Amino acid sequence: MPIFEYKCDDCGNEFEELVFDRDECPPCPKCDSAKTGKLMSAVRSRTGGGSSESAGESEAAPATSTSSGCAGCSGGDCSSCH
């Protein structure tokens, strides 16, 4: 069951709600208004490689290639090589 983000048109309250029906717009928990709309949620994914790392993620493995560059791209063309 997905959690969606909503915003109340009356009071401006933003809230998250676990919903069973994707088209459902629950009432605002702050003012109980039915005038709510679904917000576009930010999504983050990581597909491997790259040089941007967040706290808690492990560092990239050392490069095994003899080409120039860093451990992230091994080609000298990523932001951490500059």
pLDDT in tens, 17-62: 998 887 889 999 999 999 999 998 776 677 876 655 555 555 554 4
Half-sphere exposure of 3 (CA within 13 A, CB side): 5
Structure confidence at residue 12 as a pLDDT band (50, 70, 90): very high
* φ, ψ (nearest 5 deg) of residue 4: -110, 155
Mention every residue, 6+ apart, whose C-beta is less than 8 A from residue 8. Answer: 14, 15, 28, 30, 31, 33, 35, 36
Domain locations along the chain = 3-38
pLDDT at 82 over 60: no
- In the chain, the amino acid numbered 24 is E
Q: Residue 77's pLDDT band (boundaries 50, 70, 90)? A: low
